[in-house]
Amino acid sequence: MTPVPAPMGPRAGAAIIDFIILIVVNGVLLAIFDMGAAYVLGIIIFLAYFIGLEATQGKTLGKMALGLRVVTQDGQPLDWGPSAIRNVLRIIDGILLYLVGFIIAMTNDRRQRLGDMAAKTMVIKE
């Protein structure tokens, strides 16, 4: 059975929660390290947060809070490869405060942003 995609509202809410968490972490990094080191560590933590949590749990803290999960298009749990692909492509999806990802997701039945299409994943409501 094909999974049913999550609505965009809860997905946006989960993204806001995740970014608030990461902003706080980056604030701590800036308090401890100089700007260059904080920037590099921030990128590493950003990728580790999304890739690691989605590969091991199927969801970030924001998705946990709103009852969402990332799965493969056939409903199977995510692993490291697809998680890395979908999250590295946040670079493109995130252009203009995720306007690019939102527009792409709104133009397809599975509500997939570019990263999801490349990784063959989708976000579902649990």
Give me the number of domains the chain comprises: 1
pLDDT tens column, 40-74: 999 999 999 999 999 999 999 999 999 999 999 99
Please give the C-alpha separations between residue 120 and each of 13, 40, 45, 70, 83, in angstroms, as whole numbers: 22, 29, 24, 10, 10
Q: Residue 40's domain spans which residues?
A: 8-125
* Residue 74 lies inside a defined structural domain of this protein: yes
pTM for the full predicted model: 0.92
| Average pLDDT by stretches of 10, the chain with 126 residues | 90 96 97 96 96 98 98 96 97 91 94 97 96
Residue 1 falls within a domain, yes or no? no
* Residue 97 pLDDT: 87
Residue 2 lies in a domain: no
pLDDT at 1: 67
Position 3 in a domain? no
Residue 96 lies in a domain: yes
d(CA 102, CA 94): 9
